[in-house]
Amino acid sequence: MHGTLDGFPPDLSQLAQAEWWGAMRDLSERYGFHEPLGRGHAGLFVEQGDTLLVSFETVPGIRALSPTHTPQGFEMLPRAGWSSLVVLASADTWFRDPRVYAFFDQLTDDGFFDDFERVIFYGAGPCGYAAGAFSVAAPGARVLLLQPQATLDPRIADWDDRFVEQRRRDFTGRYGFAPDMIDGAMATHVLFDPRERLDAMHAALFARPGVTRHRLPFMGGALQAELAALDLMGPLLEAVADDRLDTATMARLWRARRDHLPYLRRLLARLDADGRAGLTRMLCGHVTARMHAPRFQRRLAQIDGDGEAETVRARGAGAA
C-alpha cells in the first residue's frame, strides 16, 4: 500500500473540463490505475489503506459539489487513510453500460476486493442506484445510498416520471434491479426525505433484511448537496465503515440540521402551510435566539403583531 499522500487531493477547480480529465487520469495512474470504460465512463483507483471506498460519481456532480473539484472518494483519502476506487460517469447514465459490467467482472475475477479488510460502496441518486447494483461484486461490503433509484424499468417504476427519457436504458439485464443486488452486503443504509414522494417510493423497494432506511425529513431532493453543506459526508461514511450508523448515531449526526438555514426554511414553510402558528412562533424564536435569520425575525414579529391585534379586538368586544 502507498503511504500518506501529501497534498491530496489537489485543487483542480481552475482546470477546464478536458484538463480536469487529464489531471484525474494522471493522479490515478501515479498512485494506482486508470481504466477507461468507453467514452462515458472510467475507473480511477488510488491505493493507500486497507479500507476501500467504491464511490460512483459524475463529472457534473463533482464539479458542482466539491470546492477542489475532486471526487468524494479522493476526499476521504487524507481524512480516513482509505483507498479509493471512483467509478466515474460523464453524465447521469445510471452506469448501464456493458463496459462497466465487464470492469466489475474483471475486478471480481482478479480478487481485487479481497485485498481489502473493508469495502464500502457509496452513491447518490443515479449513482446511488449504481452503488447498490454493483455492490454484489463484493459480498460483505457496506453500502451507503442517498435517495437512490431502485430501477427505472417502467414495468416496476412507471410512477417515476422524472427520468422518462432514460427508460430506453436496459435495467433488466446484469446488475439490474438494485434492491436484489444488495442481498450479499454486510449492511445497507438508505437515506431519503420521506416528503419527497418519488424518493420515498424507491426507498420502499429497498426494504428488506440487512437494510436500514434513515428518514431525513425536510432535506429536500438534493440530499448529497445538503449533507455536504453540513459537513456530514465524512462522518457518515466513517460510521458506515465502522458499523456504527445505527439510529442513535444518525440522530446525533442529524442534529447539525438545527443550524442549517435551508432545512429551517423548509420547515417554516411547512408549518405556515399547515397553519401551525404556535409551532411557527416556537421555531422562529428558537432560530432567532441562535443566529442571524431575518426571515425568521420578520415572521416572529408578524406573529406577535397578529397576536397583539387579536388581544386588542378581544378586549374591545368585551367592553362592548
Give the model's confidence band at 305: pLDDT under 50 very low, under 70 low, under 90 confident, else very high.
confident
Is 280's pLDDT higher than 70?
Answer: yes
Packed helices 294-319 and 277-290: angle between N→C axes, nearest 10 degrees: 140
What is the pTM for the complete model shown? Answer: 0.90
**Mind giving me the DSSP string for 53-109?**
EEEEEEHHHHHHH-TT---HHHHHHHHH--EEEEEEESS--TT--HHHHHHHHHHHH
Give me the sheet containing 142-146, strands edge to edge: 32-37, 41-46, 83-89, 51-58, 118-124, 142-146, 187-192, 211-215
pLDDT value, residue 18: 86
CA distance 236 to 233: 5
Of 145 and 257, the one with more pLDDT: 145
Instruction: Tell me what the mean pLDDT of segment 240-244 comes to.
Output: 96
Residue 189, CA distances (Å) to 141, 179, 223 in order: 12, 12, 14
For 175-231, how does the pLDDT look when each residue is reduced to its tens digit (9 = 90+)? 999 999 999 999 999 999 999 999 999 999 999 999 999 999 999 999 999 999 999
Average pLDDT over residues 166-171: 92
Helical residues (DSSP H) of the chain, grouped into ranges: 17-31, 59-65, 72-80, 98-109, 126-134, 154-157, 178-181, 197-205, 223-229, 233-241, 247-254, 261-273, 277-290, 294-319
Take residue 31 and report the three cell numbers written for it: 498512485
pLDDT band at 274 (very low <50, low <70, confident <90, very high): confident
- Cα–Cα dist 150/206, whole Å: 7
- Summarised one tens digit per residue, pLDDT across range 14-39 is 998 889 989 999 989 999 999 999 88
Instruction: Please state the φ and ψ torsions of residue 126, each to the nearest 5 degrees.
Output: -55, -35
More confident residue, 4 or 151: 151
Domain ranges of the chain: 17-257, 261-319
**Peptide bond preceding 98: is omega within 30 degrees of 0, i.e. cis?**
no
State the pLDDT at residue 4.
Answer: 56
- Name the CATH architecture for the domain at 17-257: 3-Layer(aba) Sandwich (3.40)
Report d(CA 276, CA 272) in Å as an integer: 6
